[in-house]
Amino acid sequence: MQRKMTTARPGYLAKVNAAGLVYTHEDRVSTSPELYRYWRDDAYYELSPKEIEVLHRASASVFAMLEEAGDYLLSPAGAADLARFGIPARAMRAIAESWNEEPACGSVYGRFDFRFGGLNHPEADQRIPKLYEFNADTPTSLVESLVQWEWFEDNRSLGATQWTNMYEDLVVAWQRNLALITRKIGAMPTVYFACSAEDASHEDEMNTLVLRDTCAAAGYRTETIYIENLWVDGDGRYRAGEDGPLIQVIFKLYPWEHMVHSEHADDLFNDMLDSGFNGASYQGGTIWIEPPYKMLWSTKAILPVLWKLFGNDPDRSQYLLPAWFEGQQPSYLERLGYVRKPLLSREGADITLHRPNGELTMGEVQGYGEEGFILQELALPPVFHREDEGKDVSTVLGVWMIDGEPSGLAIRESHGPITDNFANFIPHVVSR
User: Mean pLDDT across the stretch 343-349?
Assistant: 89
User: Mean pLDDT across the stretch 202-222?
Assistant: 97
Q: Tell me: the pLDDT tens digits for 70-114?
A: 999 999 999 999 999 999 999 999 999 999 999 999 999 999 999
Query: Is 34 a residue whose pLDDT tops 90?
Result: no
Q: Which domains does the chain have, with CATH numbers?
A: 2-299+384-430 (3.40.50.1760)
pLDDT at position 26 is 66
Query: Is 27 a residue whose pLDDT tops 70?
Result: no
Q: Tell me: the pLDDT tens digits for 263-321?
A: 999 999 999 999 999 889 999 999 999 999 999 999 999 999 999 999 999 999 999 99
Say if CB 359 and CB 338 are below 8 A apart. Answer: no
Query: Is 31 a residue whose pLDDT tops 80?
Result: no
For the chain, counts of helices (H) and of strands (E): 11, 20
pLDDT at position 25 is 75
pLDDT at position 390 is 84
Query: Is 30 a residue whose pLDDT tops 60?
Result: no
Q: Are strands 43-47 and 2-5 parallel, antiparallel or unpaired?
A: antiparallel
pLDDT band for position 29 (cuts 50, 70, 90): very low
User: Mean pLDDT across the stretch 65-70?
Assistant: 98
User: Mean pLDDT across the stretch 47-67?
Assistant: 98
Q: Tell me: the pLDDT tens digits for 402-428?
A: 999 999 999 999 999 998 878 999 999
Q: Tell me: the pLDDT tens digits for 127-183?
A: 999 999 999 999 999 999 999 999 999 999 999 999 999 999 999 999 999 999 999
pLDDT at position 279 is 86
Q: Tell me: the pLDDT tens digits for 102-117?
A: 999 999 999 999 999 9
Higher-confidence residue: 224 or 28?
224
Query: What is the overall mean pLDDT for the chain?
Result: 94
* HEC per residue, the chain: CEEEECCCCCCHHHHHHHCCCCCCCCCCCCCCCCCCCCECCCEEEEECHHHHHHHHHHHHHHHHHHHHHHHHHCCHHHHHHHHHHCCCHHHHHHHHHHHCCCCCCCCCEEEEEEECCCCCCCCHHHHCCEEEEEECCCCCCHHHHHHHHHHHHCCHHHCCECCECHHHHHHHHHHHHHHHHHHHHCCCCCEEEEECCCCCCCHHHHHHHHHHHHHHHCCCCEEEEEHHHEEECCCCCEEECCCCCECCEEEEECCHHHHCCCCCHHHHHHHHCCCCHHHCCCCCCCEEECCHHHHHCCCCCHHHHHHHHHCCCCCCHHHCCCEEECCCCCCCHHHHCEEEEECCCCCCCCCEEECCCCCEEECCCCCCCCCCEEEEECCCCCEEEECCCCEEEEEEEEEEEECCEEEEEEEEEECCCCCCCCCEEECEEECC
Q: Are strands 249-253 and 287-289 parallel, antiparallel or unpaired?
A: parallel
Query: Is 364 a residue whose pLDDT tops 60?
Result: yes
Which pTM was predicted?
A: 0.95
User: Mean pLDDT across the stretch 240-256?
Assistant: 96
pLDDT at position 346 is 83
pLDDT at position 43 is 95
pLDDT at position 33 is 43
